[in-house]
Structure 1
């Protein structure tokens, strides 16, 4: 038999569990709860109203990264022209000829013995194309080649 309990405080009976609310919630729980709510509102207000956006931050960091990665390419010292041409020709034969043809006549990739390139035929534009790649199948070689090798390959391509 169940005995009926007499309580002088509010009692809730749910599914056989008796909840007695005679003890209040500790003050530090209330302070923590309201503090977190306040912090959340301030945090959202700062990021929503301050003009900050993840896209702008990404663009800023990406431009800084591109400037850092392009700086070594522009600062490299010139080397012997004959050795540089031979190095560029060797790199082209090993890495580029499969897509662009043995003499730059094209194939899977576009022809490189033409007067104009899709992304520009200036030396820095060609270096950028080699280092960072291009959409549609041109891989980036900045992590595989040194700055000197990329420059040698660009000089070889400009002589085709």
Structure 2
């Protein structure tokens, strides 16, 4: 993982806030969007998503401001249009999402709108294709879409 998650503009106070937020997520005190704990889907797919994607995209797919795009249906200030509503996400097959997650999106990619890297496999090199497909299944659930 690059220093400061690839965002050198993050202040020490912002980093402390992110660390507190992640610890709150791990303890079950809150979800990424501040929703009450327990309102986030559970199960093996959700667990993989939370372990590998939630630090940027939020445990409930709502995004974390300045880090990752929302995977849900509402627009989040500072994140732009959510992936659920974007033509990009809707137009991707599960196989295309698998390839995208495996590759990641570097900061220099013209389609990177966050200004920080999305590391390959969400920064978790241990993820197998089967794990990533489970994560995609969870993303489709967050999007209200059925599995292909």
Calculate the TM-score normalised by the size of structure 2.
Answer: 0.45
Relative contact order, higher structure (CA 8 A, sep 6+): 2
Where is the helix percentage greater, Structure 1 or Structure 2?
A: 1
Calculate the TM-score normalised by the size of structure 1.
Answer: 0.42
Tell which structure's C-alpha radius of gyration is larger: 1
